Amino acid sequence: MDTIKVAIVGATGATGSSIVNGLLASDSAPYEITALIRPPSMQKPAVAELAKRGVRVVSADLTAPQEELVRLLTGIDVVISAIYIAELKSEMLLADAAKAAGVKRFVPCFFATVIPPKGVTMLRDMKEDVLNHIKKMHLGYTVIDVGWWYQLSVPRLPSGRIDYALTTTNSPIAGEGKVPSCLTDLRDVGKFVAKIIADPRTLNRMVFAYTKLWTQTEVRDLMDRLSGEKCTREYMSPKEIQDAIAECLTDPSKYIALATLQYLNTWGVRGDNTPEVAKYLGYQLASELYPELASQLCSLDEYFQEVLDGKGVQPYGKRLG
């Protein structure tokens, strides 16, 4: 197979790092990777590390005149956006440049749970606006959603010994905690992406890549068994979730809390984040496209044991704190 030239925005972030790792380790296709880095970040250690690993690093301002981005993207086959959520609107500028440069496939920054197109979460609405912009230009695309991360599913233990791995997006239990939702190890996202973007079957399609269905009760029962403790169980009724969402909507500074609560509502109450809903919405399932990947994916049991052994990862660092 010919080398696939990929440009990534957000290559040093949580999702972007997983994608870089997946492409560098891929046996699906040879990849040549370019990381498009914001000018203020060019001197950061994480960027230098990318260069050491063979990634071409270039300075790119998404708000610069289009011809500058077109120049950077000329000759690129696939553009992947793992952009920070506060900068999602800049994706349209990136897509415009990708179209002008002759990019064959644009992967917008979805990489989340399965959600109906409009009216359920603020973030999905913004992402659908970007996708609609892409479609209006007839730019080739692939949407990739990956479920809810293991790293955001770690419950708190009374001893506090795994608090280091918790984030501000670790959710309370929605309702009775019996709604199934697809979970995925963040580190496995790149493995899926490496398969998907080399596959002509996924061009102009949506793909749902996940590892396994779990309820919130099952997740906590698993941690109870592995840890020998009893997880903290904080419940929010569907009404309490809706009331909290309504409160956040009145305060723009609470956009992170709003996004977290809306995600909890969609996968914990509505039950959107399942293979059945994904198929209804028109997704292809990565588990059906690439059954050989199943043996390469980390289980939730394995990840929780890593956390208990002090080897877990807090994917956002202090960014959301």
Cα dist from 296 to 282, 291, 293, whole Å = 26, 10, 5
What SS3 state is found at 231? coil
> Taking a C-beta distance cutoff of 8 angstroms, is the pair 227, 305 a contact?
no
Identify residue 81 by its one-letter amino acid code. S
Distance CA 70, CA 97 (A): 5
Closest alpha carbon to 176 in 278, 273, 271: 271
- Active centre residues (catalytic): 127
**Taking the CA of residue 73 as centre, how many other CA atoms within 13 Å lie in the half-sphere pointing to its CB?**
30
As a residue count, the chain comes to: 321
Beta carbons within 8 Å of 99's beta carbon, 6+ residues apart: 137, 139
Distance CA 197, CA 301 (A): 29
> Taking a C-beta distance cutoff of 8 angstroms, is the pair 83, 9 a contact?
yes
Distance CA 16, CA 5 (A): 16
> Taking a C-beta distance cutoff of 8 angstroms, is the pair 264, 172 a contact?
yes
Distance CA 88, CA 128 (A): 11
Closest alpha carbon to 54 in 101, 15, 6, 104: 6
Beta bridge partners of 57: 35
Identify residue 149 by its one-letter amino acid code. W
The token pair at 171 is: 């959710």
- DSSP labels, 165-200: G--TTPPPEETTS---EEEE-GGGHHHHHHHHTT-G
